[in-house]
A and B are shown apart, each in its own frame.
Chain A
Amino acid sequence: MPQTNVLPPKIELQNVTKSFISKHVLRGIDLSIAPQESVVVIGGSGTGKSVLLKSILSIIRPDKGSIKIDGQETVGLSGAKRDEHLAKFGMLFQGSALFDSLLVWENVAFKLLQAEHMPRGQAKERAIETLASVGLAADVGELSPAELSGGMQKRVALARAIVANPEIVFFDEPTTGLDPIMADVINELIVKCVRERGITALSITHDMASARKIADRIAMLHEGKIIWQGHKSEIDHSGNPYIEQFIHGRAEGPIKMQVRHM
């Protein structure tokens, strides 16, 4: 169980803002995630969810604000300190982002081979073990990513995200493009990995079934701000009109989708 009140936050964001030219994507994000807690950020397309993840990973540099991991400021890190910071993370990308020039097992073992310089045989063994933990047979390791279905690619991407035993894993739209059954399989795997390995997880999705399954706590991002957060059991009684509209998928409500009229 997450220990929100006991331990200092694993991830802490204060007033994080980010703009691209005149588009203000993040407008002062405050978010705190406890060790081993699983937080899901929900929100419509283009609300800044991916930018939020990439800012924490130092792929995008925020314009303002503070991002702390284990109490250490990470905004502006470079060189060895940034590498040390990134070593704590694993990430499952929306489109899996597998390297198509490499075999499946080489994808899974990438961090072990390139960053940890593990011998090839040992890395392969670890990759096959991790593939097994996400329900994939050893012979899948010898295929190329293009030969796999979308669901299998997600499992491989999950294996790649967890193989080096990261402390924190980000899941970017983990069920997008999958049928409901495969989506649930992926959700189950995420819950299992997070629980068994004691990982702190931050996921972004607009799939409410996925959010309810993998989250301890849910936060909603709208127009670059966290407008609500609470335990997942509270979301159905939030009393927040934005949450109500979002979880029921209604076109009418305070959230206005940008539709261009011809």
Chain B
Amino acid sequence: MNFLALIGRTLIRFFNATGHFAWFAAKTLIHTFTRPFYWGQMGRQIVDIGYYSLPVVGLTALFTGMVLALQSHSGFSRFDAESAIPTVVILSITRELGPVMAGLMVAGRIGAAIAAELGTMRVTEQIDALTTLSTNPYKYLIVPRFIAATLMMPLLVLVADIIGVFGGFLVSVYGLEFNAANYLNQTWEYLEFRDVTSGLWKAAMFGAIVALMGCYNGFNSQGGAQGVGAATTNAVVSASIMILITNYLMTGILFAAN
């Protein structure tokens, strides 16, 4: 009986949280397309999310590309398929590793920062203060972060793709003694436009997820420092899990024809 009650309570909590989040996301979308727009806030978020995330995303992509080249070489040399390394590196980076690694890194950096900032604003009544100052907190706090993350993630991933491929190139040419011109030729030979665009669509979706999870958890945090800490952890964990699930679903949809 207790076990059944536990299952019931867990399910009710899950559906309650899901409904609450869906309502939050719907309100964010509605406010995204209605006036007023806080351009100054949006600019600040674009710089914070886009520009200041470049080092961490770039470094992640560089080492991911380098490791990918090393691992592919170690595996492919068993059946003399080293020539496939450039293709494996670029397809893996553009289709999967670029968007997913960047998404996870941005979830850690930006999702946590958003949740902590909005959570602190909630517990210190700054969000209520916005309302009393005739300013809609959704429009002033959430929409700029949502738009900035959704727009900046594809740009970050584009940069990550280039740096990741460059990492693979460095290891292959200077560590595995590939010919530089041959490596570059092979890199482009099997690359299709949609390999890149599919990664960028994923990136935009991951950016939206990171912003929504950060904003939702921060905006609804309760109970002082402990509540803000819990909101930050939940924002990062839930965004990371949703990125992995969404990645699988989007891969299924985007490459369904093949």
List chain A positions with a Cβ less than 8 A from chain B: 54, 57, 59, 83, 86-87, 89-91, 93-95, 97-99, 110-111, 114-115, 160, 170
Contact = CB atoms under 8 A, between A and B. Distances in A.
A89 B135 contact: no
Contacts of B38: 114
Nearest to A100: B126
B129 A97 contact: yes
Given A97-B124, A114-B140, A86 B129 contact: no
Nearest to B136: A83
23 contacts: A54-B128, A57-B128, A57-B131, A59-B128, A59-B131, A59-B132, A87-B134, A93-B128, A95-B124, A95-B125, A97-B126, A97-B128, A98-B126, A99-B126, A99-B129, A111-B133, A114-B38, A114-B133, A114-B134, A114-B135, A115-B135, A160-B133, A170-B132
Q: How large is the interface on B (under 10, 10 to 19, 20 to 34, 35 or more residues)?
A: 10 to 19
Contacts, number: 46
A57 B133 CA distance: 11
A86 B124 contact: no
B134 A94 contact: no
**Shortest beta-carbon contacts, A-B, top 6:** A115-B134, A97-B129, A97-B125, A91-B132, A111-B133, A93-B125
Contacts of A98: 126, 129
A118 B134 CA distance: 14
B114 to A, nearest CB: 13
Nearest to A91: B132
Nearest to A170: B132
Given A89-B132, A160-B133, 8 more contacts: A59-B128, A86-B131, A91-B132, A97-B128, A97-B129, A98-B126, A99-B129, A111-B133
A19 B140 CA distance: 29
A54 B126 CA distance: 13
Contact of B133 (A54, A59, A95, A115): A115
A94 B135 contact: no
Contacts of A90: 132
Contacts of B131: 57, 59, 86
B194 to A, nearest CB: 41
A93 B140 CA distance: 20
A86 B128 contact: no
A110 B125 contact: no
A111 B134 contact: yes
